[in-house]
Chains A and B, each alone.
Chain A
Amino acid sequence: NAGVMQNPRHLVRRRGQEARLRCSPMKGHSHVYWYRQLPEEGLKFMVYLQKENIIDESGMPKERFSAEFPKEGPSILRIQQVVRGDSAAYFCASSPWLAGLNNEQFFGPGTRLTVL
């Protein structure tokens, strides 16, 4: 059973470009979470999605950031008009059902975004 897959592993963008980060959850998992890790910091929650639904986006910046988890295909975190402050590692995690019900979140290897 393959783990959580993220691609690309490294992404370089110039200011003003768009960044698309992809996450394929573990097989059988229908819950996806995105976290951001700034340099020298812990991970911070961004958004929680189930198939075709955004459940909690309280950690997402109000502008330029969006996320989706379609019925088919990977979850996408999209950052429009990137700025240098968006440079960070972005982690995706998945779980088969509610993590609060004794199921852990399994993390992918992360995508390191660098904005020039």
Chain B
Amino acid sequence: AQTVTQSQPEMSVQEAETVTLSCTYDTSESNYYLFWYKQPPSRQMILVIRQEAYKQQNATENRFSVNFQKAAKSFSLKISDSQLGDTAMYFCAFLKQGGSEKLVFGKGTKLTVNP
């Protein structure tokens, strides 16, 4: 079974600075997807970024980018130019390709952006 570990329960960053959230996972699969979801106080789950395991190039979405290290099973999220609206819980998630379509989530990191 796959597991996802987020080792930082809470983090804080000053507005306009850069912050990196950590995620490691354990799997014996070779084909899979990795995701970062944001959950603001409204509790709505919002997809931030996704990475296909077969792609060597790290995914980027505007201020959000990932550092995907497949051999190390590491998938960190970097947020550049942090904004107050980035304050939220961030969840790392794993999806096995071609199997049961269940997302496996980490426990989350609570990010606070300070003015």
Contact = CB atoms under 8 A, between A and B. Distances in A.
A33 interface: yes
A48 interface: yes
A91 B52 CA distance: 24
B47 A56 contact: no
A116 interface: no
B43 A44 contact: no
Contacts, number: 70
Contacts of A109: 42-44
Contacts of B50: 104
A67 B95 CA distance: 22
A107 B45 CA distance: 6
A20 to B, nearest CB: 20
Interface in A24-56: 31, 33, 35, 40-45, 48, 55-56
Contacts of B52: 102
Q: Indicate the size class of the contact surface on chain B.
A: 20 to 34
B57 to A, nearest CB: 16
A100 B102 contact: no
Contacts of B4: 42
A44 B105 contact: yes
Given A42-B105, A43-B45, A99 B91 contact: no
A25 to B, nearest CB: 14
A43 B4 CA distance: 12
Contact of B100 (A48, A89, A101): A48
A59 B1 CA distance: 13
Interface centre among B35, B50, B105 (most CB of A within 10 A): B105
Contact of A100 (B43, B45, B91, B95): B95
Interface string B76-108: 000000000000000100011111111111111
Contacts of A99: 95, 101, 103
B95 to A, nearest CB: 6
A12 interface: no
